[in-house]
Amino acid sequence: MVQPRFVQGGEEPKGSVLSCDFYNSSALNPLSDQDIVDLLTKELLPACYPEFASAQVLDSYVQRFPGAVTWFSPGSFKYRPPLITSIPNLVCAGDIVRMGEREHGAKGLCQERAYVSGLEAANALACAGQLGPNKAQHPVIPIRDDEPQVVIGSRLNKQFMDVLKPFGLDSPWVR
């Protein structure tokens, strides 16, 4: 097990790192960085976990991406880069990649998918012997099947796309 002081450059840990993403958050853009940090640490997190009320923020960094759009849209999956590439020691990771036989869960963009794709990228390199003699792989826990409304939505989207395909409209959703 890695000792925390080694990760901290020989120093004792000073706390924990917390990251938070707000989606569809244009209402937050006019707030100052400190107002956003306060909203998160003094209102939102303590409402879920009361222990956060006593947390002390040592450092913070706020990024804003107004008008940013996602690359994900129905029909875009086939255009994403693959996890395993034609270069033996190069793999791709992130929520945007297609994981092939290592596909896991929903194909939308999310932090969980990004995390799992990172594990699977390392597993692919280990399996191929690109990480030296140790071919140990990190286990990835399977997720449950899609909920019924997701299955129905996917089927409806496929039927809609099948109707449009003969007209050269492979995916009206892709920008």
CB 95 within 8 A of CB 118: no
Question: CA 66: distance to chain centroid?
Answer: 19
Q: For residue range 30-87, what is the model confidence (pLDDT) as tens digits? A: 999 999 999 999 999 999 999 888 888 888 889 888 777 666 666 778 888 999 999 9
The first and second tokens of residue 38, run together, are 């306060």
Is residue 122 predicted with pLDDT exceeding 70?
A: yes
What residue type is 113 in one-letter code? R
0.85 cut: is pTM over it?
no
Please name every residue paired with 84 in a beta bridge, in sequence order, or none if there are none.
91
**Residue closest to 63 by CA, chosen among 26, 94, 33, 30:** 33
The band of 8, judged by pLDDT with boundaries at 50, 70 and 90, is low
What residue type is 132 in one-letter code? G
Please tell me the distance from the alpha carbon of residue 84 to that of residue 39, in angstroms, as a whole number.
Answer: 41
H or E element: which one contains 115? helix 111-127
